[in-house]
Chain A
Amino acid sequence: DAKTTQPNSMESNEEEPVHLPCNHSTISGTDYIHWYRQLPSQGPEYVIHGLTSNVNNRMASLAIAEDRKSSTLILHRATLRDAAVYYCILRDVAPAGNMLTFGGGTRLMVKP
């Protein structure tokens, strides 16, 4: 899987939007961009994924740059429950694309 770069940590205030950036300058044309998050003492959980177009679901939005070299996970209103480590992961279409290769992730802290 191609590599991703994320800030180590970010802070947000409760009920404010949060934009979590991810750089993936070596992304290939067939790599999907996945986001997972890991709450304290829990296993990771899926958040969202996309290929080229921006995506929305009940948890978050994913904004993908036109050149696909970066993306941003958007939490529209952060809650205390959103405090977690957020992982941006690229997955290719080869059979090995079954794997998730986790990078360092961004630790999001939410202040009340």
Chain B
Amino acid sequence: DAMVIQNPRYQVTQFGKPVTLSCSQTLNHNVMYWYQQKSSQAPKLLFHYYDKDFNNEADTPDNFQSRRPNTSFCFLDIRSPGLGDAAMYLCATSRGGIAGLVAKNIQYFGAGTRLSVL
């Protein structure tokens, strides 16, 4: 059974038209992450939520926003998609914990949403 579910698997949007990608989890993990993966590249972390605390990576463009209304759901909003934002977007979850323990925590990934921008 899928534990991290991303919808839709494929999303097409128009240049400049806002788009929202969704992620849900059945693991009750308190940390949720969004990664961007461009073609033939490794995943790159955009931001993560630790419970309700939002943590943005320093080089994540302002065009990318996120919402986490409850433990189970997290959304990625792209306010004005450009052609360069076409990528696979991956959601992941993990348990949080105190320093010294989190380094062992496994991340569980969804299958991703492939975004095309026309």
Contacts and interface: CB of A to CB of B under 8 A. Distances in A.
B50 interface: yes
B92 A43 contact: yes
Contacts, number: 65
Interface string A38-66: 00011111100100000000000000000
A94 B101 CA distance: 9
B96 interface: yes
B76 interface: no
Interface stretch (B14-22, B63-71, B77-85, B109-117): B109-117
Given A102-B43, A103-B42, A45 B102 contact: no
Given A98-B31, A102-B42, A46 B106 contact: yes
Q: Is the interface of B mostly helix, strand, loop or mixed?
A: mixed
Q: Is the interface of A mostly helix, strand, loop or mixed?
A: loop
* Max chain A C-beta neighbours (<10 A), residue from B91, B94, B105: B105
By size class, the interface of chain A is 20 to 34
By size class, the interface of chain B is 20 to 34
A103 B43 CA distance: 9
Interface stretch (A9-17, A18-26, A75-83, A85-93): A85-93
Nearest to A39: B111
A44 B109 contact: yes
A42 B112 contact: yes
B17 to A, nearest CB: 25
Contact of B99 (A41, A43, A44, A95): A95
